[in-house]
Amino acid sequence: MLHGAGGTVMHNLVKNYVVKYLRGLTTLETAEVPLEALDDAAVVGGIVLKSDSHAVKPIFFPGGDIGRLAVSGTVNDIAVLGAEPLALACGLVLEEGLPLTSLERILKSMRDTCAEAGVNVVTGDTKVVEKGSLGGCVINVSGIGRRGEALEKNIEVVKRFRKNFDQRWILDSNLSPGDIIIVSGTVGDHGLAVLSAQEGLTFGSGIMSDTKPLNRLIKRFLSEIGGVVSMKDPTRGGLADALNEFSEKSGVGILINEDKVPVRDDVRAACEMLGLDPFEVGNEGKILIGVVKDKARELLEFLRATEEGKDAEIIGEATADFKGVAMQTVVGGKRIIARPIGDPVPRIC
Q: Which of 6, 10, 11, 40 touches Mg ion by CB under 5 A? A: 40
Distance separating alpha carbons of residues 230 and 6, to the nearest angstrom: 19
Q: With contact defined as beta carbons under 8 Å apart, do 326 and 183 qualify?
A: no
Tell me which amino acid residue 289 is.
I
What is the closest distance, in whole angstroms, from the C-beta atom of residue 142 to Mg ion in the complex? 14
User: Treating both helix axes as pointing N-terminal to C-terminal, what angle do 293-304 and 215-224 enclose, rounded to 10 degrees?
Assistant: 130
What is the closest distance, in whole angstroms, from the C-beta atom of residue 288 to Mg ion in the complex? 10
Distance separating alpha carbons of residues 33 and 86, to the nearest angstrom: 18
Interface residues for Mg ion in 191-250 (CB under 5 A)? 233
Q: According to the binding rule CB under 5 A, does residue 52 interact with Mg ion?
A: no
Residue with smaller CB distance to Mg ion, 78 or 193: 78
Phi-psi region of 38 (alpha: psi -120 to 50; beta: other; left: phi over 0): left
What is the closest distance, in whole angstroms, from the C-beta atom of residue 333 to Mg ion in the complex? 31
Q: According to the binding rule CB under 5 A, does residue 84 interact with Mg ion?
A: no
Q: According to the binding rule CB under 5 A, does residue 77 interact with Mg ion?
A: yes
Residue with smaller CB distance to Mg ion, 72 or 154: 72
What is the closest distance, in whole angstroms, from the C-beta atom of residue 48 to Mg ion in the complex? 12
The single-letter DSSP state of residue 14 is I
Phi-psi region of 78 (alpha: psi -120 to 50; beta: other; left: phi over 0): alpha
Q: According to the binding rule CB under 5 A, does residue 189 interact with Mg ion?
A: no
What is the closest distance, in whole angstroms, from the C-beta atom of residue 205 to Mg ion in the complex? 28
Residue with smaller CB distance to Mg ion, 65 or 77: 77
Site string for Mg ion, 107-146 (x = CB under 5 A): ----------------------------------------
Residue with smaller CB distance to Mg ion, 233 or 343: 233
Distance separating alpha carbons of residues 7 and 242, to the nearest angstrom: 9
What is the closest distance, in whole angstroms, from the C-beta atom of residue 72 to Mg ion in the complex? 11
Helix (H) or strand (E) holding 334: strand 334-336
Distance separating alpha carbons of residues 38 and 16, to the nearest angstrom: 13
**Which has the closest alpha carbon to 51: 158, 135, 99, 123?**
123
Position closest to Mg ion via CB: 40
Residue with smaller CB distance to Mg ion, 40 or 189: 40
Distance separating alpha carbons of residues 344 and 275, to the nearest angstrom: 10
Q: Catalog residues that contact Mg ion under the rule CB under 5 A.
A: 40, 77, 233
